[in-house]
């Protein structure tokens, strides 16, 4: 059964972490993107939060966040390689996505007590 509170919290934190990622990681280091790129950066993290919210894998919460972060990190990383980033940035993308997946799951499951069904 779908937990609407969980989906809302996870998606909201995905949006928040998308903005944080752009303003703290991309922008200060000279990775200036056009508006469609900025929107994509934010919405990919929101989609990751939504996926965490609707997913019902029967695994522990921390592993759940890390695995979905890894999935989205690999996908985002390959898109980045397609638009000409290097392999170090590819690995950074995977690492940050895993971190944000973990943090989204932590705040959703532990902070707001909206656990997986």
Residue 83 is given by DSSP the state T
**Residue 58 lies inside a defined structural domain of this protein:** yes
**Residue 41 lies inside a defined structural domain of this protein:** yes
DSSP element (H, E) containing 12:
helix 4-21
Q: What is the sign of the dihedral through the CA atoms of 23, 29, 35 and 40?
A: negative
| Domain assignment of residue 81, given as a range | 4-111
pLDDT in tens, 35-85: 888 898 899 999 999 999 999 899 999 999 999 999 999 999 998 888 878
pTM over 0.85: yes
**Residue 117 lies inside a defined structural domain of this protein:** no
Residue 110 is given by DSSP the state I
**Residue 103 lies inside a defined structural domain of this protein:** yes
**Residue 82 lies inside a defined structural domain of this protein:** yes
Q: Which residues of 63-101 are buried (b: 16+ CB within 10 A; e: fewer)?
A: ebbbbbbebbbeebbeebeeeeeeeeebebbbebbbbbb
Q: Map 32-49 to HEC letters.
A: CCCHHHHHHHHHHHHHHH
What does residue 107 show for φ and ψ, rounded to 5 degrees?
-65, -35
Structural domain count of the chain? 1
* pLDDT score of 6: 96
């Amino acid at each position: 059964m779908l937990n609407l509170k969980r989906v809302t919290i996870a998606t909201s934190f995905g949006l928040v972490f998308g903005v944080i990622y752009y303003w703290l990681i991309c922008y200060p280091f000279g990775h200036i993107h056009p508006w469609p790129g900025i929107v994509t950066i934010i919405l990919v993290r929101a989609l990751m939060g939504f996926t965490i919210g609707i997913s019902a894998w029967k695994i522990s919460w921390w592993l759940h966040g890390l695995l979905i972060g890894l999935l989205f990190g690999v996908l985002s990383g390959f898109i980045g390689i397609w638009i000409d980033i290097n392999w170090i940035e590819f690995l950074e993308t995977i690492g940050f996505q895993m971190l944000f997946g973990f943090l989204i799951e932590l705040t959703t499951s532990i902070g707001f007590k909206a656990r997986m069904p």
